[in-house]
Chains A and B, each alone.
Chain A
Amino acid sequence: MASSLGAQAHAHGYGQAQAHGYGDARSARFFRNAGDLSPSSCRFRAAMATASASILASPAIPRSKPAASQISRLQTQLRKKEISAVEIVTEYLDRLREKEPDVKSFLHISSSALDEAAEIDGRLARGDDPGPLAGIPIAIKDNLCTQGMPSTGGSRILDGYRPPYDATAVKRLKESGAVLIGKTNLDEFGMGSSTESSAYQVTSNPWDLSRVPGGSSGGSAAAVAAGQCACALGSDTGGSIRQPASFCGVVGLKPTYGRVSRFGLMAYASSLDVVGCLGTSVDDVSLLLNAIAGHDPADATSSSKVVPNYLKALVPAKELPGNPLAGMKFGIIKETIGEGVEPAVAQVVKNAVVHLEKLGAVVQEVSLPTFSLGLPAYYVLAASEASSNLSRYDGIRYGPRVVADELNAMYGASRGQGFGAEVKRRILMGTYALSAGYYDAFYKRAQQVRTLIQQDFKKALEDGHILLSPVAPSPAFKIGEKVLDPLSMYLGDLMTVNVNMAGLPALSLPCGLIEDEGSKLPVGLQLIGNAFEEEELLRVGHIFEQTVPTW
């Protein structure tokens, strides 16, 4: 039975997504020399030729009623035997294949998804409980190691690499019965805010195919928005879950640093990286967090704090009292709603504030005076840590190797040909900032700014505030718009990087739409809480999404 379903899967073409040969170094280097995506590259032209069409999924978005949990609905139907795991996975795989030529969210599609679903059905038939995510199709960002499945980090330097182990977060999803449907596209090694610096393909925003899905977890966000999976894992170092969630109109959670194990996440900046979740509702994101959170002996920075049941905090809309947020204090960060933010975005966020107030909340303006310094400080720290973390990609241990007579030449050529332009920039800037004699000028000062930012947050959150801000200064921009100027790309991260430097949890919640050149584009509201207080964020987020006017 299992093998015929496996054959069925292959017949449907669910084998590995097209692999690019590393052998054609000339054409590969042409793409990289063209800054990954310059006007002269074929890939850029192909992306721009796509009409500004929108291919949103149903049932995901847009919606005519408040967001509902896909996971809960599917689990109920599964346990009542109204549907089988194979039918669930088939439905998502069909939609995945239908949308993929337009969205291109996936770098690899699992060839064993239907087999795994059949196994889940078998266990259910025998009276076993496969777990709270049984049969749920989940997409995994490609910088998370998945045993036996390609894991490229969006980079040529790991072309063909199949890890011998699962990342802890991945292992825990499997133990909960989830079916890993595939690996999603990302900016190379997580470095980027648009997914355009993937070495493999450009992912399009399902709301408008001529626009970016955001980054670096753009593939995961687009896949969730297009209904190609029920939910997804991503990673967030400077906003890489929250910003694509905002651009794609889905819910994105960046947990507290240490809440989820980083074991098996390809390290970009070890003091900033976290693994997190994306879904179409707060319920689903909470269920994912339940599965992946918790101490891991394999990650020395993971926390032993008890993991609560995040779902318990969520009250169904009809059981909410009249003023569900009565007595709650919120602080909207003054430095995020003024200059540098598009007026339309600021307006949507202010409307969200009015809605919170109608629910009984007290919202004040708070100031974080060192806010804008966070951006250069973040980029110094992130680039420095990246220059160290990426030194392991030497052409010896994994991935393609460029043969040379002498060791340094071999390193140089393997890395020179394996890394894309943005990664090279960050490695070189990080090498500069860490060079002898420059530590005081850059790295140390960035760490001192980090202290100030932590202190500012601590003070603002002391009064029991949840902090509010837009997630990004703009909605999704056009593919190709920012690639020629790295600095303009960095400036878009203003709202998100400080949260990583303080290690705090934050939720990105769809809160409205903006119209731009005939396209409707989502805007996300960012909620920031105290360390390990994801319950509060999810509770408030859930109340907001269940009561917000539909769109």
Chain B
Amino acid sequence: VKPPNVGELCEKARLSLTPDEAAEIGPQISRVVDWFGQLQEVELDNVDPAIRVGHEVESQRGLRRDEHLDFTEKDSMVASVGEKEGVFIKVPKILN
């Protein structure tokens, strides 16, 4: 398994680090990932992976009714938007 490459990971995670931050974080992450290595030393054949807790949760019982519900605080959601132009919400350029 290749050790963590901070630059690649930052690009995947859309996270910008300063060179100082990257220099500090790199060894810290590598140390923890080495410690994760204990998981490779265990015998795990024939063990099913657990996605969630052991007991049944509601969502496993089926789907909810397909009915429309209204959210009543629309005004305060729109009020908290950063930039508006008339009735439009202004967002940064998406397409290159």
A residues neighboring B (CB under 8 Å): 29, 33, 35, 147-148, 161-162, 164-165, 256-258, 271, 295, 297, 300-304, 373, 376-377, 379-380, 387, 391, 394, 396, 398, 401, 403-413, 415-416, 419, 421, 424-425, 427-429, 431-433, 435, 438, 441-442, 444-452, 454, 457-458, 486-487, 490, 501-503, 531-532
Contacts and interface: CB of A to CB of B under 8 A. Distances in A.
B55 A531 contact: yes
Summarize A's interface: helix, strand, loop or mixed. helix
A503 B51 CA distance: 12
A165 B49 contact: no
Given A258-B57, A487-B32, A502-B54, A376 B38 contact: yes
Interface in B19-72: 20-21, 24-25, 28-29, 31-33, 35-36, 38-40, 42, 44, 47-55, 57-59, 61, 64
B93 A406 contact: yes
23 contacts: A33-B21, A35-B24, A147-B76, A148-B76, A257-B55, A301-B57, A387-B13, A411-B14, A416-B15, A424-B15, A425-B32, A428-B6, A428-B9, A431-B9, A432-B29, A435-B12, A448-B48, A450-B50, A452-B44, A486-B32, A502-B53, A531-B53, A531-B54
A376 B35 contact: yes
A364 B55 CA distance: 26
Given A396-B92, A487-B32, A502-B54, A391 B59 contact: no
B39 A257 contact: no
A447 B96 contact: no
Contacts of B1: 438, 441
Given A432-B33, A447-B49, A503-B53, A396 B14 contact: no
Contacts of A258: 53, 55, 57-58
B76 A432 contact: no
Nearest to B37: A376
B94 interface: yes
A503 B54 contact: yes
A297 B64 CA distance: 8
Nearest to A450: B50
Contacts of B18: 29, 33, 416
A151 to B, nearest CB: 12
Nearest to B18: A33
Given A162-B80, A377-B39, A416-B15, A428 B4 contact: yes
A407 B92 CA distance: 7
B13 A431 contact: yes
Quick one: which of B9, B38, B52, B80 has the most chain A CB within 10 A? B52
Given A429-B29, A449-B42, A412 B14 contact: yes
